[in-house]
Amino acid sequence: MADAARKLDEVFHALADPARRSMVERLTRGPASVSELAEPLDMSLPGVVQHLKVLEASGLVTSIKEGRVRTCRIQPMVLNMAEQWINERRVAWQRRLDRLGDYLAETAEDTEEDDKS
Protein backbone atom coordinates (compact mmCIF):
# COMPACT_ATOMS: atom_id res chain seq x y z
CA MET A 1 0.00 0.00 0.00
CA ALA A 2 2.99 2.31 0.54
CA ASP A 3 3.55 1.83 -3.17
CA ALA A 4 0.08 3.13 -3.99
CA ALA A 5 0.68 6.09 -1.67
CA ARG A 6 3.88 7.06 -3.47
CA LYS A 7 2.06 6.79 -6.78
CA LEU A 8 -0.68 9.10 -5.51
CA ASP A 9 1.98 11.58 -4.40
CA GLU A 10 3.39 11.59 -7.92
CA VAL A 11 0.05 11.81 -9.69
CA PHE A 12 -1.32 14.65 -7.54
CA HIS A 13 2.02 16.44 -7.73
CA ALA A 14 1.97 16.09 -11.51
CA LEU A 15 -1.52 17.61 -11.64
CA ALA A 16 -0.58 20.49 -9.32
CA ASP A 17 0.86 22.63 -12.11
CA PRO A 18 -1.03 24.54 -14.83
CA ALA A 19 1.51 23.73 -17.54
CA ARG A 20 1.27 20.01 -16.78
CA ARG A 21 -2.53 20.12 -16.61
CA SER A 22 -2.52 21.89 -19.97
CA MET A 23 -0.43 19.04 -21.37
CA VAL A 24 -2.76 16.42 -19.90
CA GLU A 25 -5.73 18.33 -21.29
CA ARG A 26 -4.18 18.38 -24.74
CA LEU A 27 -3.43 14.66 -24.57
CA THR A 28 -7.03 13.75 -23.68
CA ARG A 29 -7.82 14.97 -27.21
CA GLY A 30 -5.30 12.55 -28.72
CA PRO A 31 -1.55 11.85 -28.95
CA ALA A 32 0.80 14.77 -29.48
CA SER A 33 4.48 15.52 -30.07
CA VAL A 34 6.58 17.45 -27.56
CA SER A 35 6.43 20.56 -29.78
CA GLU A 36 2.64 20.32 -29.96
CA LEU A 37 2.48 20.13 -26.17
CA ALA A 38 4.83 23.10 -25.94
CA GLU A 39 2.96 25.26 -28.45
CA PRO A 40 0.35 26.84 -26.12
CA LEU A 41 2.83 27.20 -23.25
CA ASP A 42 4.89 30.33 -22.66
CA MET A 43 8.03 28.40 -21.85
CA SER A 44 11.27 27.11 -23.36
CA LEU A 45 11.28 23.61 -24.83
CA PRO A 46 13.60 22.17 -22.15
CA GLY A 47 11.12 23.48 -19.59
CA VAL A 48 8.35 21.56 -21.29
CA VAL A 49 10.48 18.43 -21.41
CA GLN A 50 11.06 18.67 -17.65
CA HIS A 51 7.31 18.83 -17.08
CA LEU A 52 6.88 15.89 -19.41
CA LYS A 53 9.34 13.92 -17.27
CA VAL A 54 7.23 14.64 -14.19
CA LEU A 55 4.15 13.40 -16.03
CA GLU A 56 5.94 10.26 -17.20
CA ALA A 57 7.33 9.59 -13.72
CA SER A 58 3.76 9.64 -12.41
CA GLY A 59 2.66 7.23 -15.12
CA LEU A 60 0.02 9.69 -16.34
CA VAL A 61 1.75 9.96 -19.71
CA THR A 62 3.85 7.61 -21.80
CA SER A 63 5.84 8.44 -24.90
CA ILE A 64 7.79 6.79 -27.68
CA LYS A 65 10.26 8.28 -30.07
CA GLU A 66 9.73 7.63 -33.76
CA GLY A 67 12.41 9.22 -35.96
CA ARG A 68 13.06 12.61 -34.46
CA VAL A 69 9.54 13.03 -33.06
CA ARG A 70 8.48 11.92 -29.58
CA THR A 71 4.80 11.04 -29.47
CA CYS A 72 3.05 11.31 -26.09
CA ARG A 73 -0.11 9.57 -24.97
CA ILE A 74 -2.22 9.85 -21.84
CA GLN A 75 -2.67 6.85 -19.52
CA PRO A 76 -6.27 7.26 -18.39
CA MET A 77 -6.23 4.45 -15.82
CA VAL A 78 -3.70 6.43 -13.77
CA LEU A 79 -5.96 9.47 -13.93
CA ASN A 80 -8.71 7.16 -12.69
CA MET A 81 -6.65 6.19 -9.66
CA ALA A 82 -6.51 9.80 -8.46
CA GLU A 83 -10.21 10.27 -9.09
CA GLN A 84 -10.95 7.12 -7.13
CA TRP A 85 -9.01 8.29 -4.09
CA ILE A 86 -11.02 11.50 -3.98
CA ASN A 87 -14.23 9.59 -4.57
CA GLU A 88 -13.52 7.28 -1.63
CA ARG A 89 -13.16 10.32 0.66
CA ARG A 90 -16.43 11.72 -0.63
CA VAL A 91 -18.17 8.43 0.08
CA ALA A 92 -16.73 8.25 3.61
CA TRP A 93 -17.88 11.79 4.27
CA GLN A 94 -21.34 11.05 2.86
CA ARG A 95 -21.68 7.94 5.03
CA ARG A 96 -20.83 10.02 8.06
CA LEU A 97 -23.50 12.58 7.15
CA ASP A 98 -26.04 9.77 6.74
CA ARG A 99 -25.24 8.37 10.17
CA LEU A 100 -25.47 11.87 11.58
CA GLY A 101 -28.86 12.25 9.86
CA ASP A 102 -30.10 8.97 11.38
CA TYR A 103 -28.93 10.08 14.79
CA LEU A 104 -30.68 13.41 14.49
CA ALA A 105 -33.87 11.70 13.27
CA GLU A 106 -33.81 9.37 16.27
CA THR A 107 -33.23 12.28 18.58
CA ALA A 108 -36.20 14.05 17.01
CA GLU A 109 -38.38 10.92 17.57
CA ASP A 110 -37.26 10.78 21.19
CA THR A 111 -38.14 14.44 21.51
CA GLU A 112 -41.61 13.77 20.04
CA GLU A 113 -42.11 10.96 22.56
CA ASP A 114 -40.91 13.28 25.29
CA ASP A 115 -43.41 15.83 24.03
CA LYS A 116 -46.23 13.23 24.24
CA SER A 117 -45.50 12.31 27.87
The site partner of 15 among DNA, a second copy, none (C-beta below 5 to 8 Å per kind) is a second copy
Minimal CA–CA distance to 8: which of 91, 92, 78?
A: 78
Binders in 15-34 for DNA, by CB under 7 A: 16-17, 19, 33-34
Any idea what DSSP says for residue 30?
Answer: S
User: What CA–CA distance (Å, rounded) separates 63 from 52?
Assistant: 9
- Which residues are at the interface with a second copy (CB under 8 A)? 5, 8-10, 12-13, 15-18, 21, 24-25, 28-30, 74, 76, 79-80, 82-83, 85-87, 89-90, 92-93, 96
